[in-house]
Structures are given as structure tokens and as C-alpha cells.
Amino acid sequence: MRKRLIPDIDYRVPSACGVTGIMNQKGELFSGEAIYASICNMLERGNGLGSGFVAYGIYPELKDYWCFHIMYENEKAKENTEDYLKRNFGIKHSEPIPTKKVKSLKFIPLLWRYFLGIEKNVESAEDYIIKVVMDINKEIEGAFVFSSGKNMGIFKGVGNPDEIGEFFRVPEYKGYIWVSHNRFPTNSVGWWGGAHPFGILDWSVVHNGEISSYGVNKRYLENFGYFCTLSTDTEVITYLFDLLVRRHKIAFETVGNILSAPFWSQIERIENKEERELLKTLRMVYGPALVNGPFSVIVANSSCMVGLNDRIKLRPLVAATKGDFLYISSEEAAIKIVSPQLDKVWMPRAGEPTIGKLM
């Protein structure tokens, strides 16, 4: 269907990358300059084929509305999508996403944002939004919703992080969680939607890695009504978090024990029987949700930022704190450029989630 313009929707593109995230755990807003500086100190980890940012707390005056960031390949796609949105939502406000001209960027799609209220009677607003986003992305040719939460937004495209950050005027926003990604895909791609962060509802995920268990995870998620249409590994992680945290109400700490489950040999060594049985049960029931292969991810939603590694730490991840700030990044250098004097710096162990929560 969309073969010509966006080749990587038809192929799964493995990529290796740089990730970085900053959170103020008191929820105080700070400008995007910090994240911009952080990701730009890791240009080496990308190859100009994708980067992006996500920020939480950037739309305080419209915080009760679902904010969709949508990219269009053409006017027709925009018309069709807006018709669809009008039928399904009350549109509080819509506008083009403000951008600055950056000469080196190519294939720039039409970029719009919409602030939407659900006027229908729906059982679960979240499930409704997921359905709508999947509908648009699957059914409307040339349209792609790449951000769909409240009081947060994803900005991404094909280019280096300095270019993309400048293009979307990232330093001008203020948020309390910022996460960014620099991409090194192993296929040449020209589609802006293929960049990270990937998001659904207020979830966002940036990911460095390749998931060998993709085939299992994808089919497992289908059982619960998630259909992986984008063919990116990252999509799978996002849906797994939504399924486990939002729908199955499992705490982040425990989700770490599912996605990067401890080894049986580690479980056997645990002395407390209840704890041992719980870990065993988690692996038994959620085996298909185990994410195998090298990865480091930063996952965020409105109240948390979580860093997680694969079970044998095949990709780098470092964390640090300074006052109320939590930093998670692929490289310490990307943290120190923002905050040279840190309270604490550590390497999270394989499979051990690093969790930042709003206090």
C-alpha cells in the first residue's frame, strides 16, 4: 500500500542507536536545551537516518485533551484523517507543528497536531485511543499518528539529532521528562515515522537494540488485540509495557522481571520461597513476553521514566542522579555534558530496571 514513499513500513529495520533521558522527579519543568545537548554529544551513535525527542508537560494549558501528532504524505491524507477525527472526536484545537527551516532535511512530511476530546460514550478512553490510532495508521493511506498522549509530545524525523532538534525547535519547549534517540539503522530508510521515540497513549519508548524474540512477542500481543503494523522492534516493547503496566496492573519493578527475566539459575538461588515462586510463575505465565536479544530502552509515561537492559546487558546503559534529576543514557558523556557534577553515577545491572517516579 505505502510502498513507494515509506519502504520501512514493509520491512523490519534493525538498528543500533544512542538513547538518553532526563527526568525531574519533582515534576518541575526545564527546557529542551539539556536533552538537545545530551543527545548531540552522542552523534557517533547515529548515522543521520533518524532521531527524535519526547517531552512530558509541554502542553499544560491543554493538558486534558488527547494530543495527536500526525504526519501526512500529502493533502489528501490530511483531509481523510481530519474527516475521521471530526467523526470520532471533538477537536479543541489544531495547528501545524511549529518548525524551523533546516536545509539538510529531506522528505519532510506535513506535520500537524490536534487536541482532541472524546465526546462519545466509551468504556475505556485508553483502549478507544489505541483503537483509533491503529485504525488511522492501518487504514488511512499516507497518514501516521506518531504521538497520542496527554500533555506530552513526540518530535521525530529522518536526520541527525541536531538537525531534528533544531527543526522542531526542541529547546523552546519546557517539560519535566525528556527522552531522546539517535538512530543507526542497518537499512537505508526515508520514512519519518520510522524514527524513535515510538509512542502510544502517553507511553514513549526509545530503544537501542534488536529483538530476537520479535516473532514471539508480536504473536503474543496479537492475543491481546495489539497489532504490530510498523514492523519495528520498538513497537513491540511499547505494547508490552502498555499491556503489563496499564492493563495487567503490574508494577515497573515486576515488569523488569518479565521483559528481562532473571535466569533460572538466579531464581533457584533466591532463599525466600515466596519470592522464588513468584519469579517462577511470572516466567511461566509471561514467557512469551520475555524480550530476548540485545537492548537498552528508556520507557516513559506521564509519571515515570524507566531504563531497562536485556538479561545479559549486551547494550550499554548508565544512570546518574543530581538533586531531583535522574539521568539515563547510553553514555556517561551524554550525561556529564549536561550536569558535570553528579551525585551518583552507576551502571544498572542486566535486567534491573532503573526507575524514576514523580514524587
Partner 1 sequence: MAIPKKLREFDVVRDDEKCIRCEVCCRMCANDVHSYDAETDKVSADSAKCVGCHFCEDVCPTEALVIKRNKSQIKRNANWKNDALGNIIKQANTGGVVLIGMGNDRPIRDYFGHIVLNASQVTNPSIDPLREPMELKTFIGSKPDRIELVEKKSKIKNTTEIPPQLELETPVLFTAMSFGSISLNACKSLAKAACDFGTYWNTGEGGLHKDLYPYAHRCIVQVASGRFGVDREYLKKGAAIEIKIGQGAKPGIGGHLPGEKVSAEISSTRMIPEGTDALSPAPHHDIYSIEDLRQLIFALKEATDYKKPVGVKIAAVHNVAPIASGIVRAGADFVVIDGIRGGTGAAPQIIRDNVGIPIELAVAAVDQRLREEGIRHRASLIAAGGIKSSGDVVKAVALGADAVYIGTAALVALGCHLCQRCYTGKCNWGIATQDPYLTKRLNPEIGAKRAYNLLRGWSLEIKEMLGGMGINAIESLRGNKEQLRGVGLHEKELELLGIKHAGEAW
Positions marked catalytic:
17
Q: Does 3 bind partner 1 (CB under 8 A)?
A: no
**Own/partner pairs, 100-103, CB within 8 angstroms, 24+ separation:** 100/166, 100/167, 100/168, 100/169, 102/159, 102/163, 102/166, 102/167
Q: Does 191 bind partner 1 (CB under 8 A)?
A: no
Q: Does 309 bind partner 1 (CB under 8 A)?
A: no
Say how far apart CA 165 and CA 268 lie, in whole Å.
47
Provide the 10 A C-beta neighbour count for residue 31: 15
Among 26, 120, 138, 219, binds partner 1 (CB under 8 A): 219
Say how far apart CA 156 and CA 159 lie, in whole Å.
9
Q: To the nearest whole angstrom, how small is the minimum distance from the Cβ of residue 42 to partner 1? A: 18
Q: Does 265 bind partner 1 (CB under 8 A)?
A: yes
Say how far apart CA 191 and CA 61 lie, in whole Å.
31
The residue ranges of DSSP E strands in the chain, in sequence order, are: 15-24, 30-31, 51-56, 66-72, 90-96, 110-117, 143-147, 152-157, 174-175, 177-185, 198-200, 203-209, 295-301, 304-309, 318-322, 325-329, 344-346, 354-357
Nearer to partner 1, 182 or 213 (CB): 213
Choices 74-82, 103-111, 147-155, 215-223; region in contact with partner 1 by CB under 8 A = 215-223
Q: Does 122 bind partner 1 (CB under 8 A)?
A: no
Cβ-Cβ contacts under 8 Å for 106 (sequence gap 6 or more):
158, 190
Q: To the nearest whole angstrom, how small is the minimum distance from the Cβ of residue 234 to partner 1? A: 14
By CB under 8 A, the count of residues binding partner 1 is 48
Closest CA to 114 of 88, 129, 95: 95
Q: Does 190 bind partner 1 (CB under 8 A)?
A: no
Q: Does 339 bind partner 1 (CB under 8 A)?
A: no
Closest CA to 261 of 282, 246, 236: 282
**Residues 221-260: x/- map of binding to partner 1 (CB under 8 A)?**
-xx-------x---------------xxxxx--x------
Instruction: Using the Cα atoms of residue 192, residue 235, residue 134 and residue 129 in order, give the sign of their dihedral.
Output: negative
Q: Which of residues 55-84 bind partner 1 (CB under 8 A)?
A: none
Nearer to partner 1, 88 or 208 (CB): 208
Nearer to partner 1, 7 or 171 (CB): 7
Q: Does 212 bind partner 1 (CB under 8 A)?
A: yes
Among 311, 319, 354, 356, binds partner 1 (CB under 8 A): 311
**Residues 266-295: x/- map of binding to partner 1 (CB under 8 A)?**
--------xx-xx--xxxxxxxx-xxxxx-
Per DSSP, the residues of 155-178 read EEESS-HHHHHHHTTGGG-EESEE
Residue type, 108: I
Nearer to partner 1, 174 or 280 (CB): 280
Among 261, 305, 319, 328, binds partner 1 (CB under 8 A): 261
Residues at the site binding partner 1, with contacts judged by CB under 8 A: 11-16, 186, 209-210, 212-216, 219, 222-223, 231, 247-251, 254, 261, 263-265, 274-275, 277-278, 281-288, 290-294, 311-312, 314
